[in-house]
């Protein structure tokens, strides 16, 4: 028994030696394999959710993302919808948005891209307030807080 324990211990130690030796040369392929696992994607609370509709305007594109209510076990009562303006951003952004695509405008938003002042005009009681309004590398992003 004692001998078996010694052999098992040393064998495990040598497996560890091999693991460390192959770790760095194989890091890219190990990471790519890990990245394929179903849970290896960033939570929509950070990404802003998938783009549900893209509206092509004169100088920029407006991406309306799906509303994010994602919680640990299901949907939360409070969430947000993210709108991205991509391309050339005018000094004043003024748009009305129908984020649930029911052909009724849900809110109007006006953004002064110089001062970042953002004014929200809600058209229904699902709209709470402006969570984030910020310039980004691709243009501008706004998160409007929602309730169910």
Partner 1 sequence: MDDTLSGTSLKKSFGKSLLYSLPMILITFMFISGGRPDFSNPSSALAMMITFILVNVLYFLMHYTGKTDKFRAILFIIFALSLSFTLISNMLEMRNSMSFSQADILECKIPFCHLVIPMMILPAAFTKSIIFPGSILGSFAGIASMVVLWLVATLVLGRGFCSWGCFYGGWDDGFSRIRKKPVIKKISDSWKWMPFAVLFMVALTSALSLGPTYCDWICPFKAVTEFEEVTSVASAAKAGVFISLFAGLVVILPFLTRKRTQCSFLCPLGAINTLSNKITPFTVKIDKANCSECFKCVAACPLFALTQEGIRNGKVSVFCSKCGKCIDACSRNAIHYGIKGVPAGTMKKFSRNLFLFISFLFMAVFSSGSIVNTFRGLLDLIF
- Using CB under 8 A as the criterion, what x/- string covers residues 80-109 for binding partner 1? --x---------------------------
Cβ proximity of 130 and 108 under 8 Å: no
Is residue 137 near partner 1 by the rule CB under 8 A? yes
Cβ proximity of 37 and 31 under 8 Å: no
Q: How far apart are CA 10 and CA 111, in angstroms?
A: 66
Q: How far apart are CA 136 and CA 100, in angstroms?
A: 24
Which range, of 41-49, 53-61, 90-98, 103-111, touches partner 1 by CB under 8 A?
Answer: 41-49
Nearer to partner 1 among residue 104 and residue 137 (C-beta): 137
Q: Which of 55, 57, 119, 132 binds partner 1 (CB under 8 A)?
A: 132
């Amino acid at each position: 028994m004692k001998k078996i324990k010694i052999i098992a211990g040393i064998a495990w130690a040598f497996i560890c030696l091999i693991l460390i030796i192959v770790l760095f040369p194989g890091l890219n392929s190990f990471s790519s394999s890990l990245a394929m696992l179903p849970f290896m994607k960033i939570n929509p609370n950070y990404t802003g959710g998938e783009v549900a509709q893209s509206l092509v305007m004169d100088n920029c594109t407006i991406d309306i993302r799906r509303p994010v209510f994602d919680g640990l076990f299901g949907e939360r009562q409070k969430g947000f919808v993210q709108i991205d303006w991509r391309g050339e951003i005018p000094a004043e952004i003024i748009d009305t948005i129908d984020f649930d695509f029911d052909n009724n405008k849900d809110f109007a938003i006006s953004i002064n891209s110089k001062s970042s002042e953002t004014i929200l005009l809600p058209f229904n009681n699902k709209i709470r307030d402006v969570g984030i309004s910020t310039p980004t590398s691709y243009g501008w992003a706004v998160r409007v807080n929602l309730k169910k």
